[in-house]
């Protein structure tokens, strides 16, 4: 006998939010597609790093496995509005709550993506209930929706709310198949973007219309070899490595940087790799930054000299170049929205020319 599941779990009963009625659907189940959390932990939670990799890393990364870094839920619907009900397993609100406790929503895909709003967890609350109902497609035809996870916080449960009777379908596939994987420091994890859709990996994902996996670990990007193995297991279309910021000194970096690259290369001999140096290298008070950059350059040069034609280097000092060079960070380190946009534009351009169009 068919039963109404909402009778067993009242959370799935229709709910009115902001004057509209919503019928909720599980956000972590098909046909909704989760991107950016490629693994599932032993306790069943989506994660960026599997438990066995965390256990083998010298750097403590356990809590970082679940913290958001621009992951996405994607689906298609013809609903005239949509909403969300989200709980948080961990809340790490920082100076910018829209980035750390808010979900961004976009409609359409790739370069046609359109931002339709950010909904943030109210201070003191534990459950986010919100609805997007402005500037949405109005022709009644199905359209793609992307919800982007907040930074640093760990989502517990997510339900998608639609107008009762609306369709919920699998999203349109990305124009480019496969995954683009990023590994880096807080620069990659979250920077100082005002909202999660403006992280440079998120921007690049929309610019190139490809799934992204953000393995940024604030303060803890130290070249643990199990991370190279994890990335290799994902068989990425390309691998972007922003790895020098968290090294305590150039000597530490020299010990680990090329070793990390070579370990990945031994597992994925043909995967394109883009090596970056830190973008805030230019301030005069960072006296040892050129030595750090030299380490990254040496990894690249040694690989090319050995016959590797699938490795490239992008000088971080060029990422903020132009008239807004000194307006690109909040603190002379972490990039703001201007810095995120410049990084995305220049990294995406390099990926187009050396990975996707060659």
Q: Where are the domains of the chain?
A: 5-169, 179-356
Cβ neighbour number for residue 305 with a 10 Å cutoff? 8
Token couple for 175: 């124009």
Between helices 200-208 and 337-351, what is the axis angle to 10°?
A: 40
What is the distance between the alpha carbons of residues 347 and 342, in angstroms, rounded to a whole number?
8
Q: Is 106 helix (H, G, I), strand (E, B) or coil?
A: strand
DSSP states along 328-341: SBSSSSSB-HHHHH
- 204 and 348 in contact (C-beta within 8 Å)? yes
Residue showing tokens 């190139």: 208
Distances (CA, A) of 289 to 31, 259, 283, 315, 354: 47, 20, 9, 12, 26
Between helices 250-267 and 289-305, what is the axis angle to 10°?
A: 30
Token couple for 33: 């597609």
Residue showing tokens 């002379």: 332
Please give the biggest Cα pair distance in the chain: 73
- 167 and 307 in contact (C-beta within 8 Å)? no
Residue showing tokens 């996405």: 72
Residue showing tokens 């989506």: 46
CATH number of 179-356: 3.40.50.1110
Please report which helix (H) or strand (E) contains residue 75, including its range.
strand 72-77
pLDDT digits (tens, 9 = 90+) for 55-96: 999 999 998 999 999 999 999 999 999 999 999 988 877 667
* pLDDT attached to residue 6: 47
Phi (first) and psi of residue 206, to 5 degrees: -75, -40
* pLDDT attached to residue 287: 65
Low-confidence ranges of the chain (pLDDT < 70): 1-14, 16, 94-95, 281-287, 358
Task: Specify the pTM.
Answer: 0.93
Q: Which of 166, 162, 146, 156 is nearest to 103 (CA)?
A: 146
Token couple for 1: 């006998």
Residue 318's region, left for phi above 0, alpha for psi from -120 to 50, else beta, is: alpha
CA trace torsion 330, 332, 337, 340 (10° rounding):
-150
* pLDDT attached to residue 49: 95
Task: Write down the H helix ranges in 151-245.
Answer: 186-189, 200-208, 225-233
- 312 and 273 in contact (C-beta within 8 Å)? yes
What is the distance between the alpha carbons of residues 308 and 126, in angstroms, rounded to a whole number?
50
Label the pairing between strands 211-216 and 179-184. parallel
Residue showing tokens 């991370």: 227
Tell me which of 2.60.120.260, 1.10.1040.10, 3.30.70.20, 3.40.718.10 is the CATH number of domain 5-169: 2.60.120.260
Q: Is 348 helix (H, G, I), strand (E, B) or coil?
A: helix
The dihedral sign for the CA sequence 303, 314, 350, 335: positive
């Amino acid at each position: 006998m068919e039963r109404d599941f909402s009778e067993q779990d009242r959370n799935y009963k229709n709910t009115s939010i902001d004057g509209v009625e919503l019928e909720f659907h599980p956000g972590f189940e098909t046909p909704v597609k989760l991107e950016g959390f490629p693994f599932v932990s032993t306790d069943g939670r989506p994660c960026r790093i599997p438990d066995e990799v965390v256990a083998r890393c010298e750097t403590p990364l356990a809590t970082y496995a679940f913290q958001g870094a621009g992951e996405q839920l994607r689906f298609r619907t013809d609903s005239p509005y949509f909403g969300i009900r989200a709980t948080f397993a961990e809340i790490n609100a920082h100076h910018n709550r829209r980035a750390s406790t808010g979900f961004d929503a976009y409609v359409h895909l790739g370069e046609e993506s359109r931002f339709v709003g950010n909904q943030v967890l109210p201070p003191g609350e534990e459950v986010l209930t919100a609805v997007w109902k402005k500037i949405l497609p109005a022709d009644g035809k199905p359209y793609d929706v992307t919800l982007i996870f907040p930074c640093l916080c760990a989502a517990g449960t997510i339900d998608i709310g639609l107008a009762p009777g609306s369709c919920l379908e699998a999203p349109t596939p990305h124009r480019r198949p496969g995954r683009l994987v990023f590994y880096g420091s807080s620069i990659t994890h979250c920077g100082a973007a005002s909202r999660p859709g403006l992280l440079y990996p998120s921007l690049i994902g929309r610019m190139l219309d490809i799934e992204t996996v953000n393995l940024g670990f604030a303060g803890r990007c130290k070249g643990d070899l199990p991370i190279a193995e994890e990335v290799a297991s994902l068989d990425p279309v390309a691998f972007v490595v922003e790895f020098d910021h968290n090294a305590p000194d150039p000597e530490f970096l020299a010990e680990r940087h090329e070793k990390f690259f070579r370990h990945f290369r031994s597992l994925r001999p043909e995967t394109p790799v883009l090596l970056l140096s830190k973008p805030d290298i230019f301030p005069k008070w960072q006296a040892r930054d050129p030595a750090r950059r030299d380490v990254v350059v040496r990894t690249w040069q040694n690989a090319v000299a050995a016959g590797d034609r699938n490795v490239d280097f992008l000088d971080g000092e060029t990422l903020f170049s132009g008239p807004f060079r000194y307006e690109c960070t909040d603190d002379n380190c972490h990039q703001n929205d201007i810095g995120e946009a410049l990084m995305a534009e220049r990294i995406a351009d390099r990926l187009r020319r050396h990975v996707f169009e060659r």
